[in-house]
Amino acid sequence: MNNNTTYAPASDVTVTETTKARVLALVFGAAILFTVGFAYSTPVHNAAHDTRHTLAFPCH
């Protein structure tokens, strides 16, 4: 599968682009996980209750 596939050389542009994508993915990922697993709002807690217990996020 790795039969010398030619990848574009990592120029400065692609490095910045990749870094930007990583930061965005980290920020969005953490924000979603915070809402699902940590947020104190009671309706959010009640909606995500079974997920919090099953995935062992700290829950009451």
Partner 1 sequence: MVFRMFAAALAAGLLSAVLITGLQSFITAPLILEAETFEEVAPAHNHDGHSHGDATAQPSWAPWAPEDGLERQLYTLLANCGAGIGFALLLVVGLSFDLPALSARRGVMWGVAGFSVFTLAPALGLPPGAPGMPTPDEQAAQIWWLLTVLLSGAGLGSMAFGKSFVIKALGAVLMVLPHLWGAPPLNAIDSQLPPELAARFAASSIVLSAVFWVMMGYLSGLFFSKLGERSAPD
Separation CA 50–CA 42 (nearest Å): 14
Please tell me the count of residues contacting partner 1 according to CB under 8 A.
Answer: 41
Can residue 9 be called a binding residue for partner 1 (CB under 8 A)? Answer: no
Looking only at residues 19 through 58 of this chain, which bind partner 1 when binding is defined by CB under 8 A?
A: 20-22, 24-26, 28-33, 35-38, 42-43, 46-58
- Helix, strand, coil percentages, rounded to 5, for the chain: 65, 0, 35
How far is 7 from 14, CA to CA, in rounded Å? 12
Query: Per rule CB under 8 A, is residue 3 in the interface with partner 1?
Result: no
Contact residues for partner 1, defined by CB under 8 A = 1-2, 6-8, 14, 17-18, 20-22, 24-26, 28-33, 35-38, 42-43, 46-60
